[in-house]
Structure 1
Amino acid sequence: MSALQWQSLAGMGALCLLAWVLGGCRRGVSARVVVAGLASVLGLAALLLNIAWLRVGFGWIGQGVEALARATRAGTSLVFGYLGGGPLPFPEPFPGAAFILFFQALPLVLVVGALSAVLFHWGVLGFLVRLLARALRRVFGLGGASGFGVGANVFVGMVEAPLMIRPWLARMNSTELFVVMVAGMATIAGNMFVIYALVIAPVVPDAAGQLLTASLISAPAAVLVAMLMRPGDTSTTAEEAPVLRYSSTMEALVQGIGDGLQLMLGVMAALIVFVALVALANEVLQPLLGLTLEQMAGWLFRPLAWAMGVAPEHAARAGELLGVKVVVNEFVSYLALAQEGAAMDPRTRLILAYAMCGFANFGSVGIMLGGMSAMVPERRAEIARLGFPALAAGTIACCLTGAAVGVLTAP
């Protein structure tokens, strides 16, 4: 192993210690949970990154993403013309000049949202979620409902996953509730990883497969970090949670389109507002302090970049991208990685792709609190109290996933 790989391994221990300290150094943390958690994160990463036939499968996933993108472009070209990727009526002044995010990339959310709903109705995603829930139950002792919630977060969003276990949310104890919330922060929805894969494909090989791998690895990482911050019994809700079904495939398709439209508009609005807020903050900070918000975040998150094993010459910029991911969102960070990744070494790009693969940002806290409070209004105050700790835990879990990749990837 190289020095940077040993640094990543030491960083995994440091990140676990940070989670325990931020949780108030609580008693009751099980050594079995820590060992099993670290072993499952590293073991899962080793399997998914190094087994040849899995890598071939990731290539197929990448081809599937490209097929989805081409199919979506056929629809956007019909509706929006050249704005949606159709033939240009004028010469393109430079490569990429005709790309418009809202008309060409975000509509993919509609297609994937519809497909996801159909796959849920057919039981395909439910089967995959149950497999992951059983694995988490064996490793961490999670109850059926909380394990199902963590597993569902790998494939759906931070509000949709708790919705699938809504009947059990009111009966969960604080630790179980926190585990589900952290999993929502540390993973991304299936319909979003397709978008992110298209964005970073020029700088990260097999981008779609890599991001799917990142979300899978982050599931046990989220459970480990959550139980370090809030240790307790996680097996009180042992019943198996049901998979939501639609009355017909057509209903699933229509409902999926509607849900995808809401998500697409929400992403658009969040991008506009949060990028504007960051720009406004920079307008104030630059004259007063001579620093931007990104530069300040870079100093704050640089130790996390070191803990993941990022090379020293890239640690400052890596810290900035992590900070932007938390302050704004992961979409903006991935856009920056796509633009600047060529200046970084492949190992750093890969670590960052994994570390930024999660919904842990300030905007997501509001989305999660609003959604879960509506599901269990009697626990509104508790959910609000756990919101920002879940943000911190989700960020650490994502960095733990990045560090695991750093351990297994030579410079």
Structure 2
Amino acid sequence: MDILLAIVAIALVLGIAFLMSNDKRNIPVKGIGIMLLIQFALTWFMFNTDIGQTIIIGISNVFSKLIEFGMSGVNFVFGGLAFENPDNPQVFFLNVLLIIVFFATILSVLTHFKILPIIIKYVGGFISKITGLPKIESFNAVNSMFFGQSEALIAIKSQFHRLTDNRLYIVSASAMGSVSASIVGAYMEIIPPQYVLVAIPLNMFSALILASIIAPVKVEDEDDEVDVKNVSQSKSVFEAMANGALDGGRIALIVAAMLIAFLASLEMVNWVIGAVASGWTLEELLGYALAPITFLMGVAPGELVSAGSFMGTKIITNEFVAMSQFMEVSGDLSEKTVGIVSVFLTSFANFSSIGIIAGTVAGIDSEKGKTISSFGMKLLIGATLASILSATIAGMFL
């Protein structure tokens, strides 16, 4: 029964994307089919085979060790405050967000030595070859698994003159449907690591699938080049480390500021709702609104509203707000619901991302920035559908 409901959910997601498509005749059906098969095979392998489980455990252990290294730096600066009571939300900034600094430093160094750019280029090229999608879009999708929305788009700024409106939609959707590797460690401190690790590649393919349906593209070879020569401006490894640390600190502060703003705003909205309709909250309203789709995704009947509330909170605020609330009750939910919600939350698909992406693109090309703003809501819907698709596929194998 759960498999049947999941198939209905997938068909519904793809159907909505088809209705939104601005070029239904040129949808790359073959490429989309291949990516769906990859998602099914990858999820089955990671969740249902001993080798897949070993890989997940191995990668989780690597991240745990990196987090341990990062916490040694936090502990030195803050004198052990972070370790006094790890579950105390008052040290959330120390235990979770400051880990971003170390991860951003590692990414910066790997980029300086051109290790990541070369891996991303060739993995993107492989995806382009097997799916028939353009190289720039494939490269950007893989790049978005490692770098944040702004960084991923800036990495292809030299190719922006090649991007039509449809191509611009696809690269923007990939950026919104992804996460940054620099904050993966922070996610893994809040929700189960195995679901974060599976969500990253699933969301990459889901974003490409939905964006390719909504805004199909077909390009000639001369309009499809990827250049990774000047991806790092650092002159030495020490400059790369310094730049990465500063970027990580900036991200951590931005996330902290957004958490303060969004959680305070959410509390205010709930106060207003409570004054009008006693006992109700925005999260509950969102939960009931999204309950039908969570049912199709495979969430247990008794947990539909709860799951929907976290999903809705993530869309209107951001993933950290939803994760922090989800962490408090995840122990009371079934393993399948935890997996489905965790995968859904692991992406940048929310309202605030529209402004981030539009601002980044405007900084590169003002006219294209206006284009992004004009289809901002369409971008959010597409990225949210991608999150639903990823979470549904994950749920089929839990």
Q: Give the TM-score normalised by structure 1.
A: 0.90
SS in 1 for 2:179: coil
1:221 lines up with 2:195 in the alignment:
no
**Alignment CA distance shift 1:241-1:299 (3 Å):** farther
Find the counterpart in structure 1 of residue 44 from structure 2.
46
State the AA in 1 paired with 2:41.
G
Q: Distance in 1 between matches of 2:151 and 2:22?
A: 30
When the two structures are aligned, how many residues end up with a matched partner? 394
Q: Which 4+ runs in 1 deviate beyond 4 A?
A: 23-27
Greater shift, 361-370 or 314-323, is seen at 361-370
Report how far residue 99 of structure 1 moved: 5.5
**1:128-170 deviations in Å (ceiling 9; x for gaps):** 3124312331343222222111110011111101111101113
The answer to whether the 8 Å contact 1:14/1:307 transfers is no
1:56 lines up with 2:73 in the alignment:
no
The answer to whether the 8 Å contact 1:136/1:220 transfers is no
Report how far residue 249 of structure 1 moved: 1.1
1:407 lines up with 2:396 in the alignment:
yes
Q: Where do 1:67-106 residues align within 5 Å?
A: 67-85=65-83, 88=84, 96-97=87-88, 100-106=91-97
Report how far residue 401 of structure 1 moved: 0.6
State the AA in 2 paired with 1:29.
I
Q: Distance in 2 between matches of 1:132 and 1:48?
A: 19
Greater shift, 23-32 or 110-119, is seen at 23-32
The answer to whether the 8 Å contact 2:104/2:245 transfers is yes
Q: Distance in 2 between matches of 1:83 and 1:9?
A: 48
1:115 lines up with 2:103 in the alignment:
no
Report how far residue 29 of structure 1 moved: 2.7
SS in 2 for 1:232: coil
State the AA in 1 paired with 2:329.
E
State the AA in 2 paired with 1:135.
F
**Alignment CA distance shift 1:298-1:135 (3 Å):** farther
Q: Distance in 2 between matches of 1:22 and 1:60?
A: 40
Structure 2 runs not aligned, ≥5 long: none
Report how far residue 44 of structure 1 moved: 2.7
State the AA in 2 paired with 1:359.
F
1:15 to 1, 13, 16: 13
1:175 lines up with 2:166 in the alignment:
yes
Q: Distance in 2 between matches of 1:310 and 1:228?
A: 26
1:239 to 225, 231, 237: 225
Q: Give the TM-score normalised by structure 2.
A: 0.93
The answer to whether the 8 Å contact 2:274/2:281 transfers is yes
Q: Distance in 2 between matches of 1:372 and 1:8?
A: 36
2:254 to 266, 269, 289: 266
1:250 lines up with 2:248 in the alignment:
no
**1:232-290 deviations in Å (ceiling 9; x for gaps):** 32566311231513322111111111111111111011111111111121122221234
**1:281-308 deviations in Å (ceiling 9; x for gaps):** 1122221234321122112222321231
State the AA in 2 paired with 1:252.
A
State the AA in 2 paired with 1:53.
I
Q: Where do 1:5-404 residues align within 5 Å?
A: 5-23=3-21, 26-85=24-83, 88=84, 96-97=87-88, 100-200=91-191, 204=192, 207=193, 209-233=194-218, 237-242=223-228, 244-245=231-232, 246-290=234-278, 291-404=280-393
The answer to whether the 8 Å contact 1:150/1:180 transfers is yes
TM-align CA RMSD: 2.1
**1:96-127 deviations in Å (ceiling 9; x for gaps):** 34861112221111100001100112232223
Identity among equivalent positions (%) equals: 23
Report how far residue 23 of structure 1 moved: 4.2
SS in 2 for 1:105: helix
